[in-house]
Amino acid sequence: MPAFPNAETAAEVFGELFTILAADEEFTAKLRENDLTARLVHTKPDCTIFLSADKVIVGPEAPEDAAITIKMSCDTAHQLWLGKLMMPAAVATGKVRIRGKVAKVLELVPILRPAFDRYPELAAARGIGA
């Protein structure tokens, strides 16, 4: 059974997660200093998020012109944020596909650390189990 029952729930959970991150000045400063933008494309159900130092856009209006695009299923994203699946393994097995410079991805991953701490609580609050 999929972790997310529908696109609306996925958009709520992932949208809130990245909105919390975007409110952190240290996080946005690192995005700005590395000129990082990311487009996260989730499938099954579909949910797209654009992340920059200045904004988080959830939904079909998310711009396509990001420094990196990361594509994965919502179930894979759920496992990643719970810490049950490591990004290198997910990329190596094709569960996560990345477009853009690898260096940009390597800059992004460490600054996402606070998301791993917050995600389990956000998912549980919406009935998304481990």
Quote the pTM value: 0.91
Condensed to tens digits (0 to 9), the pLDDT of residues 62-89 reads 999 999 999 999 999 999 999 999 888 9
CA distances from 58 to 7, 22, 127 (A): 11, 13, 20
**How many CB atoms neighbour CB 19 within 10 A?**
14
Angle at 40 between CA 7 and CA 18, to 5 degrees: 80
Pairwise CA distance, residues 19 & 58, whole Å: 10
Q: pLDDT tens for residues 14-60?
A: 999 999 999 999 999 999 998 899 999 999 999 999 999 999 999 99
- Structure tokens that stand for 63 in this block: 């711009």
CATH class of 7-117: alpha beta
